[in-house]
Structure 1
Amino acid sequence: KLGSAKTHPSVPYTPSLFPGTTVPALLNSTSNQLYLHFYSDISVSAAGFHLEYKTVGLSSCPEPAVPGNGLKIGERYLVNDVVSFQCEPGYALQGHSHISCMPGTVRRWNYPPPLCIAQCGGTAEEMEGVILSPGFPGNYPSNMDCSWKISLPVGFGAHIQFLNFSTEPNHDFIEIRNGPYDTSHVIGRFSGTEIPGSLLSTSHETTVYFHSDHSQNKPGFKLEYQAYELQECPDPEPFANGIVRGAGYNVGQSVTFECLPGYQLIGHPVLTCQHGTNRNWDHPLPRCEVPCGGNITTQNGTIYSPGFPNQYPNSQDCTWIITVPAGYGIHLNFTLLQTEPYNDFITLWDGPQQTAPQLGVFTGNSVKKSAQSSSNQVLMKFHSDAANGGIFAINFYGLYRSVSSQCLTSCPVILQDLEGSGPVWGHQEEE
């Protein structure tokens, strides 16, 4: 035991200086070597010093306890040695992660060993991790409301798998929410003792919420999560004869399909990109086709031949009823007509039934022919026989009937068929 002013330069040291007349306290070296240096200047002599020393064994600090659900790193416990601690995944370290063996007559650590605790709530930002109910593997406490947020980079979701699960049925439960808010969509809610199946969140932020009531505490749950890339569903473009509306094709996003005028949507109008290992839409892609007939209530539009722009099939009998607001007539303009003469033809009536006056029968191969009704409804029928296809397109729009339009229903006229080869009875359109 020795008062030390300076240790040898080759040995790590912390120097201690002792001037004046105060007797230093008892000192303990932590090395098997010690360097003593005495210095006096040119003035004032004094009695000096007298010290005694003896050797002592360098005892170590006691082996620190390993926290439950944790591990200790470091096997040396001599003075100034440092030991560190880590917790198993899902547990939070409570205390100091590093402790040091202190010098002194009684060896001790500068801090007590830490604990590893399964906490109520938290944030997980790693690409994979573990979430535990409070106190796991012991029973969770009563009256708990805990929320964990899994926060991953944008473009990733969380694959969640339960390893342990036991709660009071119905009263204590866990919810997995597809987003960071209390109002986010719940993709799983579980209670009881049956281990839930795996889940895939479709958001880069996922919430795990746990609730327990005042009674019947159970061991709770242990779950693992792993990030997975949220790829896009197949691009639905180009969508023939229609329009696709939507912000994107990522998991959970939806797109809407609309057909161009004259076409009818076959299939689901709204598709949602499904989560899962393979990205795909929740329904097959729809298509836009020309219907063989139907009720049309728009004030303007186009009627195409079935299968347009391809040729219409054989043996077709199609019926359309066009309705515009009361007080309007209907103007129809044949912008395209290529049918087998006489055998394939279009008939128009000035009303919703075949008992109404006939506006004309149109067949052959020509354009720039038109008809006009005095009624706000027109019946249109198309017939094709068993041979030779064709194609047609008819634009229509509602036309307000003025008081001077006196000849819309009472002036018969002979119209030429669109081939110009024979008469077709109809009614004069208003000029």
Structure 2
Amino acid sequence: MPPAAPRCPLLPLLLLLLLLLLAAARPAAPPHRPTFACGGVVSGESGFIGSEGFPGVYPPNSKCTWKITVPEGKVVVLSFRYLDLESDNLCRYDFVDIYNGHANGQRIGRFCGTVKPGALISNSNTMLVQMTSDANTAGSGFIAKFSAAEPHERGAQYCGGRLEKPSGSFQTPNWPERDYPAGVTCSWHIVAPRNQLIELKFEKFDVERDNYCRYDYVAVFNGGEINDAKRIGKYCGDSPPAPILSEKNELLIQFLSDLSLTADGFIGHYKFRPKKLPTTTVPPTTTTVPPTSIVKPTVALCQQKCKRSGTMESNYCSSNFVITGTVITAVTRAGSLHATVSLINVYKEGNLAIQQAGKSMSAKIVVVCKQCPLIRRGLNYIIMGQVEEDGRGKVFPNSFVMSFKTKNSKILNALKNKTC
């Protein structure tokens, strides 16, 4: 029998090394990335939707619609995982709209910028998501997860809904046992018969305090949509807002908490009222701006000659706020002009509520006599005036208001450094 060939103990190791080298030399398979189309119809217990081309930049001049359906008897919960759209304090350019149902439903919210809203919940098993972009600045868009939830699960984590009974209550999630959760968005849509109005009162109120209510807040709107031009007020802190009376038969209450501090929350009550009541039965505190400060005194006030008194210098110290800005919305309401001003500069802030979205800042002002002083949408002004309890600026016929020119900045900067 021939002698056995000597074994090489390193041979298996060399073969393994050779295989590893060959594997490393092969081109790696490209990583799999989900691609999203412009809109679509999706259904099931859960899933994801995203802007066209995400995570790349979404295309300009587009409108994409997603129709979401979860099993019958459940509701849709939508949670944004990522949001990056052109920022604007009124979300006028690129935005995502969320609606109840698939057609003609109530809008739950409109969102833009990079701040993700909390969980959004429909009042049925269908929801519509629509993203609109204009011709200019774009971002990476959004990605959101939808899932089905039992309606009875809403109490612990979700909130909102349609309220149609003649009276009722609404409260933040977890009320009154513990603080409301972070990252929640709730919308209550109160609908009365056409010939009635809605009276709204907050019994208890404790929402994270901030001078401008930028983080957690309650906003109340006339009508059934989140529309900045129809906003009655934006509230936070631990003082309940004054009682509110709707203009017509619909009110929308929006509550939003960010992802940081929380507080006790609130409970609110509403009731329907006949549209026409004797003037003696209307309490002076039924609206954010009491009728006594607008109706009777304003009639006499607005009959006076419309002329500002004094100079820029003499009005500076006597005014609660001094700003320069562009009028972006102007709506006549109860004989007054309610305007939103996109701020160019703030020289004296006082208690004026300033909202911030990205780099844009804006404030609300009420011109007590709608054409005195006359301000027009799209033009720039210097505005000096007083501040109401809800943080809105109040401008009277003799308040100092004038067109803003760049050369005025020098005088205003000098006044800013002046000690009143």
Q: Which has the larger radius of gyration?
A: 1
Between 1 and 2, higher relative CO (CA 8 Å, sep ≥ 6) is seen in: 2
Normalized against structure 2, the TM-score is what? 0.31
